[in-house]
């Protein structure tokens, strides 16, 4: 449960930050930069959340090993 809540909070925080950068580029009518920021955001979110996804997949084995 803690892992689910932590990953959910982390992804929402990262997506909220990215949303403001994309809105700035959209306000400047720089549509190419919107795409660049979106792709950068995808890469950053994937890089940050990938370890948690791996940990989530193997959490049963990790807990058994700790016991």
Q: What is the DSSP string of 26-45?
A: HHTT-HHHHHHHHHHHHHHH
What pTM was estimated for this model as a whole? 0.67
pLDDT score, position 11: 82
Rounded-to-integer distance, Cα 54 and Cα 39, Å: 22
Cα distance between residue 60 and residue 35, in whole Å: 39
| Torsion from C-alpha of 25, 28, 33, 35, nearest 10 degrees | 70
Give per-10-residue mean pLDDT for the chain (67 aa): 78 85 89 91 88 87 89
pLDDT of residue 32: 94
Domain ranges for the chain = 2-66
| Per-residue pLDDT at 61 | 92
């Amino acid at each position: 449960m803690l892992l689910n809540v932590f990953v959910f909070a982390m992804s929402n925080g990262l997506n909220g930050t990215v949303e403001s950068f994309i809105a700035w580029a959209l306000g400047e009518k720089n549509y190419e930069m919107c795409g660049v920021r979106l792709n950068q955001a995808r890469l950053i979110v994937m890089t940050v959340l990938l370890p948690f996804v791996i940990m989530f997949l193997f959490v049963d084995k990790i807990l058994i090993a700790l016991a």
